[in-house]
Amino acid sequence: MSLNIEKGNRKRIVIVGGGFGGLRLANKLKGTDYQVILIDKNNYHQFPPLIYQVASAGMEASSISFPFRKNFQHQKNFYYRMAELRAIFPEKKLIQTSIGKVEYDYLVLAAGTTSNFFGNRNVEHEAMPMKTVDEAMGLQNAILSNIERAITCATKLEQQELLNVVIVGGGATGVEIAGVLSEMKRTILPHDYHDLDPSLMNIYLIEAGNRLLSAMSPESSAAVEKYLRQMGVNILLNKMVTDYQDHKVMLADGSSISTRTFIWVSGVAGQPVGNLNPEHLGRGRRIRVDTFNRVIGLDDVFCIGDQCLVEGDPEYPNGHPQLAQPAIQQGSNLANNFRRMLKGKELKPFCYKNLGAMATVGRNKAVAEFARIKMKGFWAWLMWLIVHLRSILGVRNKVVVLLNWVWNYFNYNQSLRMIFYPKKAAEIIEREEREARTHWGEDLINNEKPKEEKNIGA
């Protein structure tokens, strides 16, 4: 396989990852004299802040996703390829992907993060993460099918395991999924499952630290904890999960919670990059970069977004928050620097402007912090809606999400609670198996020069 893109005389920028940072960078390079290639394993951009609503069957996956090719329809000298990064060879200015090799003049790593299980292989195998739309849809199926099974199971023990939900991680994602499942328990179960006692459904939120939302102020943490407890969520602070065995979440203090819905949203780690020397990695497997987002020790290789760790910023010695805004701002700054390179101008360092943080736990319940302003309750919730609605790609998606929210505000009785198990075609399965068997280093070890790709058009 090959990318089939002729390099030509233009400088080539290869962007790996179409998240907030990669997408902003690619958009900002429109009209420049660069050839831009965007590589992502999905053919769409996804909106992570609303993934939890897909997991709870409150929103269609298509409403928070937008195809890359649609976004870049009229952008010249831009190419998209659906592929995965296998390895990087900076000394050759070359990367290996699942569909072939590609040379670059500048490489930008913007692949984001993956769930961090802190080396616990058993938890990694058993728990359900919620980082992507795919994972959210899988979690949605698991929650709904477990409720269906609870109605027909033979024993009370099995029924309780099926109805108990354990969420590990007290960050924004954890409190949001706990809140929306609590509302589901209160509003959906009595109507859809009238022969099931809703009180049997227990939602547990476990946090290893001493408060929820540790990245926000103690006041916001206390407000969110109060909201969730009022909604019936069982909050366990200063509790560490050590294992999952026999449908039980095991805690460090020796206690356990029976469940077959084990959700893991406790921490993230940078996406791994094959053949990247460990000396380039910092805390949380994030790639160490300077204030220009250039990977320290590598020429013409940059990294932005959650995957990078900017060194040299005294206000953020442990790296910038792994949120949308740092990624977007880094993408914009790097695009401007690429434009400056063309003109031979001096690069400008990245300076993060903190626009605040927010989290919601249900209707009329949210917290928001902007500089010195702290909000909670209805106005924070309304601000949360406005900010997230503005950030979604596509007019249709904005309208659909807005209508969903309006409908949900007055009536929770949506008809989105279907269980789908998509079946892959044999051709797709075989192709994925072939790509998985690709030995990314063999021909490079033999110093084989990559073949020039052919031009098949934008």
All domains of the chain in start order, with CATH: 1-116+268-440 (3.50.50.100), 121-266 (3.50.50.100)
Task: Please give the distance of CA 48 from its chain centroid, rounded to a whole number.
Answer: 5
> Is the confidence at residue 416, as pLDDT, over 70?
no
pLDDT at residue 393 in the model: 81
Residues 16, 1: Cα–Cα separation, whole Å: 18
Nearest one of 17, 3, 15, 4 to 105, comparing CA atoms: 15
- Burial bucket for residue 141 (CB in 10 Å: 0-12, 13-18, 19+): middle
Q: Give the 3-state secondary structure of 139-190.
A: HHHHHHHHHHHHHHCCCHHHHHHHHCEEEECCCHHHHHHHHHHHHHHHHCHH
Q: Which residues, including other chains, have CB under 8 Å from residue 388's CB and lie 6 or more apart?
A: 47, 49, 50
Provide the token pair at 447: 């110093």
pTM given for the model: 0.89
> Which alpha helices (H) appear in 324-375, and where do they start and end?
324-342
- What residues form DSSP beta bridges with 204? 166, 234
- Maximum average pLDDT range among 4-8, 108-112, 373-377: 108-112
Residues 260, 159: Cα–Cα separation, whole Å: 10
> Is the confidence at residue 322, as pLDDT, over 50?
yes
Q: Between vectors from CA 222 to CA 219 and to CA 227, what angle results, nearest 5°?
A: 125
CA torsion angle 120 125 131 132 (round to 10): 160
Residues 290, 330: Cα–Cα separation, whole Å: 12
Nearest one of 171, 142, 147 to 323, comparing CA atoms: 171
- What residues form DSSP beta bridges with 235? 205
Q: pLDDT grade, residue 415 (50/70/90)?
A: low
Residues 70, 77: Cα–Cα separation, whole Å: 15
- Residue with the bigger pLDDT between 437 and 213: it is 213
Q: Please, are residues 8 and 35 in contact by the beta-carbon 8 Å criterion?
A: yes
User: Average per-residue pLDDT in the chain?
Assistant: 90
Minimum mean pLDDT range among 31-45, 46-60, 86-100, 203-217: 46-60
Residues 388, 369: Cα–Cα separation, whole Å: 15
Provide the token pair at 347: 């690069």
Mean pLDDT value of segment 318-336: 94
Mean pLDDT value of segment 5-15: 92
Q: pLDDT grade, residue 330 (50/70/90)?
A: very high
Tell me the pLDDT tens digit for each residue of 143-190: 999 999 999 998 999 999 999 999 999 999 999 999 999 999 998 898
DSSP code of residue 92: G
Residues 291, 337: Cα–Cα separation, whole Å: 12
Q: Between vectors from CA 22 to CA 276 and to CA 117, what angle results, nearest 5°?
A: 55
Residues 25, 330: Cα–Cα separation, whole Å: 8
Q: Going by DSSP bridges, is the β-strand pair 165-168/261-264 parallel, antiparallel, or unpaired?
A: parallel
> Is the confidence at residue 450, as pLDDT, over 50?
no
pLDDT at residue 78 in the model: 95
- What residues form DSSP beta bridges with 14? 37, 107
Helix, coil or strand: residue 237: strand
Q: Please, are residues 229 and 132 in contact by the beta-carbon 8 Å criterion?
A: no
Nearest one of 164, 128, 162, 168 to 251, comparing CA atoms: 168
The DSSP H or E segment spanning 264 is: strand 261-264
Tell me the pLDDT tens digit for each residue of 356-404: 899 999 889 999 998 788 999 999 999 999 988 888 887 878 888 887 7
Mean pLDDT value of segment 322-326: 92
pLDDT at residue 124 in the model: 94
Mean pLDDT value of segment 427-453: 60
Q: Please, are residues 13 and 104 in contact by the beta-carbon 8 Å criterion?
A: yes
Residue 357, amino acid: A
Helix, coil or strand: residue 244: strand
- What residues form DSSP beta bridges with 37? 14, 79
> Is the confidence at residue 279, as pLDDT, over 50?
yes
Provide the token pair at 108: 């930008």
Up-side HSE of residue 62: CA atoms within 13 Å toward CB?
5
Which segments of 93-146 are extended strands (E)? Answer: 94-97, 100-103, 106-109, 113-115, 128-129
Provide the token pair at 56: 């709870």
> Which alpha helices (H) appear in 29-132, and where do they start and end?
51-55, 68-71, 121-126
Q: Please, are residues 257 and 283 in contact by the beta-carbon 8 Å criterion?
A: no
Residue 216, amino acid: M
Tell me the pLDDT tens digit for each residue of 19-35: 999 999 999 999 999 99
- Maximum average pLDDT range among 243-247, 316-320, 420-424, 437-441: 243-247
Residues 389, 404: Cα–Cα separation, whole Å: 11
Residues 162, 159: Cα–Cα separation, whole Å: 5
